[in-house]
Chains A and B, each alone.
Chain A
Amino acid sequence: DAGVIQSPRHEVTEMGQEVTLRCKPISGHDYLFWYRQTMMRGLELLIYFNNNVPIDDSGMPEDRFSAKMPNASFSTLKIQPSEPRDSAVYFCASSFGTGSYEQYFGPGTRLTVT
């Protein structure tokens, strides 16, 4: 298996622009997580899905952030409009719902908003 796939790996955009981050989980995994990593706040859980349904979005910072999972093999995290304080590395992770609960992380998207 190729593991969790994220795109793009790097994104540089100007303040006010819309940003869309993409994630393909490991096939067969039924949980998907979006995290944000910054020096100041560490690794924060933004939202997670189970069987494509959002379960907990309490970590989403504000209405500018939205996440969707239209099917079992694809999820997006959108920021509209983007702001410089959104600059961070965004990780997607997936997991199989029974068993070890180990999360498999993707390589991350490094977002820079200027």
Chain B
Amino acid sequence: AQSVSQHNHHVILSEAASLELGCNYSYGGTVNLFWYVQYPGQHLQLLLKYFSGDPLVKGIKGFEAEFIKSKFSFNLRKPSVQWSDTAEYFCASRSGGFKTIFGAGTRLFVKA
């Protein structure tokens, strides 16, 4: 069965530190990958997505993710985090049909 695993459940960083959140998916065929963000008290919203083409995807707010097919990974990165990036981040995959599977989420806390 399709699954998504996120390596870190909680991450604490200081402002200006670099961020990398790990994500691995299980499906070996054609897959669409997403990162969603949920700010405190708000609903999930899309950060970025990968469908095909350039494996380095740029999203909103300075986030980017790299699709590495050989590693079944889609890690999220940001060179310098801000306090306002404090949120929960969800990796998700869709492979065929319309069912999207979400990872367990990573809670990021950025210290000012």
A15-31 interface code vs B (CB 8 A; 1 in, 0 out): 00000000000000001
Closest Cβ of chain A to B98, distance in Å, is 6
A102 closest partner in B (C-beta):
B46
Question: Secondary structure at chain A's binding surface: helix, strand, loop or mixed?
Answer: strand
Specify which of A42, A100, A101, A106 is in contact with B98 (CB 8 Å cutoff): A101
Stretch at the interface among B12-20, B60-68, B75-83, B102-110: B102-110
Interface size on A, residues (CB 8 A): 23
Residues of B29-48 at the interface with A, using a CB-CB cut-off of 8 Å, are 32, 34, 36, 42-46
Q: Within 8 Å CB of A50, what residues of B?
A: 98
How many chain B residues touch A (Cβ–Cβ < 8 Å)?
Answer: 21
Q: Are B100 and A103 neighbours in the complex by a CB distance under 8 Å?
A: yes
Q: Are B101 and A45 in contact (CB under 8 A)?
A: yes
CB nearest to B94 among chain A residues: A101
Closest to A33 in B: B100
In this complex, what residue of A is CB-closest to B98?
A: A31
Q: Which residues of B contact A101 (CB under 8 A)?
A: 32, 49, 94, 98, 100
The answer to whether A91 touches B49, judged by C-beta atoms less than 8 angstroms apart, is no
B54 CB, min distance to chain A CBs, angstroms: 16
Which residues of A are at the interface with B, using a C-beta cutoff of 8 A? 4, 31, 33, 35, 42-43, 45, 48, 50, 55-56, 91, 93, 95, 97, 100-103, 105-108
List 29 A-B pairs, Cβ < 8 Å: A4-B43, A35-B102, A42-B102, A42-B103, A42-B104, A42-B105, A43-B44, A43-B102, A45-B100, A45-B102, A48-B98, A48-B99, A50-B98, A55-B97, A91-B44, A97-B98, A100-B51, A101-B32, A101-B49, A101-B94, A101-B98, A101-B100, A102-B49, A103-B44, A103-B46, A105-B36, A105-B43, A105-B44, A106-B43
